[in-house]
């Protein structure tokens, strides 16, 4: 894929009907991890391009209140073992199978991208807005990965909420894990799932 980054202050195209984009959005799905290829995924350059596309997310104050950590190859197991050890320390009853499953947690996809919210004190953009920017970026990562031909799924599971994991990523007090994005070539097509009836959710204030 080619990315044509606009020059700073360039005049950009006005929004115009785009059937291909509507179709892509209507047919997009997260891919179940079992349907993601653990051995085939984006190159380092492609991942950077995916992030260049995704990071055009709305961001009040241009502060980039988020950062990424990528792990692939051997690092996936190394990190999985650390997670399994953290779990075992709190749940000594954990059996061997469970330990093995935790250790292999990140080997289920070719590339794991951790998205961290990094809010800063800001006079106009409260922390809540900075967190929402990070959430929007999460969806944009999924969409951008799909646009490059990769499956992606956003998972948190217990690992996103355990404070003992924070030092592994040099996280500060105010930083939060937004999610782990499992990315790789899709092995099987997704199927449609129930979607909200938006007309029931929409009201009009007069
Ligand atoms: C913040 C966040 C965390 C999520 N964490 C998990 C998770 O830990 N396990 C899981 O099965 N799905 C999780 N999901 C849901 C999947 O990413 C995915 O959205 C869901 O399976 C529905 O698929 P769809 O995106 O195609 O609608 C999470 C979604 C979000 C937004």
12-58, pLDDT tens digit by residue?
999 999 999 999 999 999 999 999 999 999 999 999 999 999 999 99
Ligand 1 pocket, residue 130 CB under 6 Å = no
Q: Which domain holds residue 142?
A: 33-72+109-187
Say how many Å lie between the CA of residue 113 and the centre of ligand 1. 15
Give the pLDDT confidence of 118-152 residue by residue, as tens digits. 999 999 999 999 999 999 999 999 999 999 999 99
Nearest CA to ligand 1 atom 14: 155
Domains in the chain, number: 1
154 pLDDT tier (thresholds 50, 70, 90): very high
Q: Three-state secondary structure along the chain?
A: CCCCCCCCCCCCCCCCCCHHHHHHHHHCCCCCHHHECCCCCCCHHHHHHHHHHHCCCCCCCCCCCEEEEEEECHHHHHHHHHHHHHHHHHCCCCCHHHHHHHHCHHHHCCEEEEEEECCCCCCCCCHHHHHHHHHHHHHHHHHHHHHCCCEEEEECCHHHCCHHHHHHHCCCCCCEEEEEEEEECECCCCCCCCCCCHHHHCCCCC
In a domain, 43, yes or no: yes
Question: Residue 195: inside a domain, yes or no?
Answer: no
Residue 205, in any domain of the structure: no
Is 93 contained in some domain? no
Say how many Å lie between the CA of residue 21 and the centre of ligand 1: 22
C-beta 153 within 6 A of ligand 1: yes
Residue 44 lies in a domain: yes
Binding site membership of 30 for ligand 1 (Cβ less than 6 Å): yes
Residue 27 lies in a domain: no
Ligand 1 binding pocket includes 155 (Cβ within 6 Å): yes
Question: Is residue 146 one of the residues assigned to a domain?
Answer: yes
Q: Does any ligand 1 atom lie closer than 6 A to the CB of residue 27?
A: no
CATH assignment of the domain containing 59: 3.40.109.10
Which atom of ligand 1 lies closest to the CA of 142? 25
């Amino acid at each position: 894929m080619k990315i044509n980054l606009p020059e700073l202050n360039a005049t950009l195209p006005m929004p115009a009907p785009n059937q291909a984009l509507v179709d892509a959005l209507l047919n997009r799905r997260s891919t179940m991890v079992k349907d993601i290829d653990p051995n085939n995924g984006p190159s380092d350059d492609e991942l950077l391009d995916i992030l260049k596309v995704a990071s055009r997310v709305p961001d009040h104050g241009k502060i980039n209140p988020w950062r990424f950590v990528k792990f692939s190859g051997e690092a996936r197991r190394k990190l999985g073992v650390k997670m399994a050890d953290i779990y075992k320390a709190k749940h000594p009853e954990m059996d061997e199978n469970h330990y093995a499953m935790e250790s292999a947690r990140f080997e289920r996809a070719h590339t794991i991208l951790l998205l961290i919210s990094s809010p800063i004190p800001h006079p106009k953009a409260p922390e809540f807005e900075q967190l929402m920017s990070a959430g929007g970026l999460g969806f944009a990562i999924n969409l951008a990965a799909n646009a490059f031909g990769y499956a992606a799924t956003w998972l948190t599971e217990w690992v996103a909420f355990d404070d003992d994991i924070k030092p592994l990523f040099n996280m500060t007090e105010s930083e939060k894990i937004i999610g782990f994005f499992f990315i790789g070539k899709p092995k099987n097509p997704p199927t449609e799932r129930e979607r909200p009836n938006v007309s029931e959710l929409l009201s009009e204030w007069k």
